[in-house]
Amino acid sequence: MSRGFKDRLTYKATPMQASVPASSANLGPGFDCLALALELRDTYVAQILDDEVFDVDVTGQGADDVKKDGKHLVIKSMMAGFEFMGGKPRGIALRCLNEIPHSRGLGSSAAAIVGGLSLSRSLVLSGSNLMSDDDLIALATDIEGHPDNIAAATLGGATISWMEDRAKVLTGCASGFSVDPNIRALLFIPDSQLSTGKARKMLPEQISHSDASINSGRSALLVHALSSRPELLFAATQDLLHQSYRREAMPKSIDLVNKFRKAGVAAMISGAGPSVLVLHTATKAEHDDLIRSGGDYFKAMDLEISPTGVRIAAV
């Protein structure tokens, strides 16, 4: 800790655990604003140390690809949270069990960021008074760069997020709503990866007024379809804003989306891809047909829509 820095925080001695859901953003037309929390969770356990060290251990998805020091995204997010609350601990021990596939459009980075900020809050006495959920979402958006996955990972269920100008600073904001219990999620996850940064670079600087108008209408309709009218999901998930422009980076995923949509199935790219998300109310036989239609290139995974976002517990 640097000389002259006054740490205003009182830290808890016991470790805390954060369980954070995967998330699927965009959902077709809702680019950077709509998302769903999915019941596939990363689990992080952290404890404050007296020694100046970051002791990090990671198992599961991406374990060989992430930093095991102060540059680990959970650690970086924890430190951002502590600094927001007015402190800076000497060291942190962190254990991660990752279940969310990395670079597949399932919000793994958002889970790490939300998990880290939530852990920092939980490890400080009266931390919830120093960092509200709104504060957490704003901080997490600053780190991630966009609020959609952040919102779902924090609040659970379905979420609407937006950027708001507050004192000339763009701030991430979000609100959640419940999903019709008949709607289920089916994911098709390929072995291939695609970074969000690369996917964003493929988007055009401008689109037509007509395409923008269609997407706006579909986004509004999607909120209605998710909350109470699942029979409208197919129409509500039409997108003209981003998916087709990314074909070159994930041709098999786009082909699968098109195959499903020609059959009247509400299919879309999950986030920046390359996973494919199907939202459905199918019977068992129809569900099995969907899985067979995915072919061997994708791993099919049924996931519940998680009604809760990040969960914190003492260990």
Reported as a single tens digit per residue, the pLDDT across 27-47 is 999 999 999 999 999 999 999
3-state secondary structure of 174: strand
For residue 85, which amino acid is it?
M
Q: Are 16 and 57 in contact (CB under 8 A)?
A: no
Higher pLDDT, 108 or 200: 108
Question: What confidence score (pLDDT) does residue 1 get?
Answer: 44
CB-facing half-sphere around the CA of 28: CA atoms within 13 A = 29
- Name the pairing type of β-strands 91-98 and 54-60: parallel
Q: What is the mean pLDDT of residues 198-208?
A: 91
Q: Using the predicted structure, report yes or no on whether residue 3 has a pLDDT greater than 70.
A: no
Question: What confidence score (pLDDT) does residue 215 get?
Answer: 94
- CA pseudo-torsion sign 133, 135, 141, 143: negative
3-state secondary structure of 90: coil
pLDDT digits (tens, 9 = 90+) for 223-263: 999 999 999 999 999 999 999 999 999 999 999 999 999 99
Q: Using the predicted structure, report yes or no on whether residue 5 has a pLDDT greater than 80.
A: no
- 314: tokens are 């003492």
Question: What confidence score (pLDDT) does residue 112 get?
Answer: 98
- 82: tokens are 């502590």
Question: What confidence score (pLDDT) does residue 2 get?
Answer: 45
Instruction: Report phi then psi at 30, rounded to 5.
Output: -85, 55
pLDDT digits (tens, 9 = 90+) for 123-142: 999 999 999 999 999 999 99
Q: Are 310 and 19 in contact (CB under 8 A)?
A: yes
Residues for the chain: how many in total?
315
CB-facing half-sphere around the CA of 202: CA atoms within 13 A = 18
Helices and strands (H, E) in the chain, number of each type:
10, 11
Q: Are 194 and 108 in contact (CB under 8 A)?
A: no
